[in-house]
Structure 1
Amino acid sequence: MPMRHADLSVAPKRILIIKLRHHGDMLLTTPVINNLRHHYPDCEIDILLYKETEAILRAHPAISVIHAIDRAWKKQGFVFHLKQELGLIKAIRRRRYDIVINLADQWRSAIITWASGAPCRIGYAFSKRRSAVWRQAHTHLVPTDNFGQLHTVEQNLAILAPLNLAIDNDRTSMHYSPSDDRVGREKLAAAGVTGAYIVIQPTSRWRYKCWDDAKVAALIDGLGEYNLSIVLTAAPDKKERQMIDHIQSLSIGSDAVSLAGELTLPQLAAVIDHARLFIGVDSAPMHMAAALDTPCIALFGPTKLQHWRPWNENSTVIWAGDFAALPRPDTIDTNTHERYLSAIPVESVLQAAKSYLT
Structure 2
Amino acid sequence: MATSSSIPASFAPRKILLIKLRHHGDMLLTTPVIEALRQRYPQAAVDVLLYKETLPMLQAHPHIRQLRFIDRKWKNEGTLAHLRHEAALLKAIRQEGYDLVINLADQWRSAIITALSGAPVRIGFAYNKRRNAFWQRAHTHLVSTSNHSQLHTVEQNLAALQPLNIPFSGFPAAMHYSESDWSHTQTVLAQSKVTRPYIVIQPTSRWIFKCWEDDKVAGLIAALASEQIDIVLTAAPDKKELAMIDHILSLCPGKAISLAGKLSLPQLASLIDHARLFIGVDSAPMHMAAALDTPCIALFGPTKLKQWRPWGDNNQVIWAGDYAPLPSPDSINTRTETRYLSAIPLDDVVKAARNYLDE
Shared fold, TM over 0.5:
yes
The TM-score normalised by the length of structure 1 is 0.96
Given that 1:38 and 1:168 are in contact with CA atoms closer than 8 Å, whether structure 2 keeps it comes out as: no
Assess if the C-alpha contact under 8 Å between 1:293 and 1:312 holds in 2.
yes
Shift of 1:167: 5.2
Structure 2: which amino acid aligns with 1:287? Answer: H
- What secondary structure, in the 3-state scheme, does the structure 1 residue paired with 2:76 have? helix
**Equivalent in the alignment of 2:309:** 309
Structure 1 residue 184, shift from structure 2 partner: 1.1
Q: Deviations over 1:282-332 (max 9, x none)?
A: 000000000000000000000000000001111010111111111100000
For 2:337 and 2:354, the matched residues in 1 are separated by 31
1:3 matched to which residue of 2?
A: none
Contact kept? 2:197, 2:275, Cα under 8 Å: yes
Matched, 1:240 2:265: no
Return 5+ residue gaps in structure 2 as ranges.
1-6
Deviations along 1:94-150, one digit per CA (max 9) or x if unpaired, are 110000000000111000000101000000011111101100000000011111100
How far apart, CA to CA, are the structure 1 residues paired with 2:318 and 2:166?
A: 35
Q: Take 2:155 and 2:11, find their aligned partners in 1: how far apart are those partners?
A: 26
SS in 2 for 1:173: coil
Q: Distance in 1 between matches of 2:45 and 2:108?
A: 25
Residues 151 and 307, structure 1, Cα contact 8 Å, conserved in 2: yes
Contact residue 18 and residue 102 of structure 1 kept, 8 A: yes
Q: Please tell me whether residue 92 in structure 1 is matched to residue 100 in structure 2.
A: no
How many residues matched? 352
Q: Distance in 1 between matches of 2:142 and 2:165?
A: 14
Q: Deviations over 1:220-251 (max 9, x none)?
A: 00102473100000000111111101100001
Residue type of the alignment partner of 2:251 = L
Q: Secondary structure at the match of 1:71?
A: coil
Counting only pairs closer than 5 Å after superposition, residues 118-157 of structure 1 correspond to structure 2 as: 118-157=119-158
Identity %: 64
Using the alignment, how far apart are the partners of 1:32 and 1:208 within structure 2?
Answer: 30
C-alpha separation in 2, matches of 1:30 and 1:141: 21
Match of 1:62 in 2: 63
The match for 2:352 is 352
Structure 1 partner of 2:210: 209
SS in 2 for 1:342: helix
Contact in 1 for aligned 2:155/2:169 (Cα 8 Å) = no
Corresponding position: 1:323 with 2:323: yes
Instruction: List aligned pairs for 1:1-358, cutoff 5 A.
Output: 9-166=10-167, 169-225=170-226, 227-252=228-253, 254-358=254-358
**Alpha-carbon distance in 1 for matches of 2:169, 2:310:** 20
Judge conservation of contact 1:226–1:357 (CA < 8 Å) in 2. no
C-alpha contact 1:198 1:228 (8 A) present in aligned 2 = yes
SS of aligned partner of 1:63 = coil
Where do 5+ consecutive residues of structure 1 fail to align? 1-5
CA distance in 2, matches of 1:168, 1:50: 26
CA contact (8 A) 2:225 2:255 kept: no
- Give the secondary structure class of the aligned counterpart of 2:72: coil
TM-score, normalised relative to structure 2: 0.96
Contact preservation (8 Å) 1:48, 1:67: yes
Q: Quick one: distance in 1 between partners of 2:196 and 2:251?
A: 24
Asked if structure 2 preserves the Cα contact closer than 8 Å seen for 1:49 and 1:69, the reply is: yes
Does the 8 Å CA contact 1:301/1:326 hold for their aligned counterparts? yes
Instruction: State the one-letter code of the partner of 1:128.
Output: K
Residue 165 (structure 1) shift:
2.2
**Is the Cα–Cα contact under 8 Å of residues 27 and 57 in structure 1 kept in the other structure?**
yes
Conservation of the 8 A alpha-carbon contact between 2:155 and 2:168: no
Root mean square deviation, CA, Å: 1.2
The structure-2 alpha-carbon separation of the partners of 1:136 and 1:345, relative to structure 1 and needing over 3 Å to count, comes to same
Distance 1:106 1:166 in 2: 25
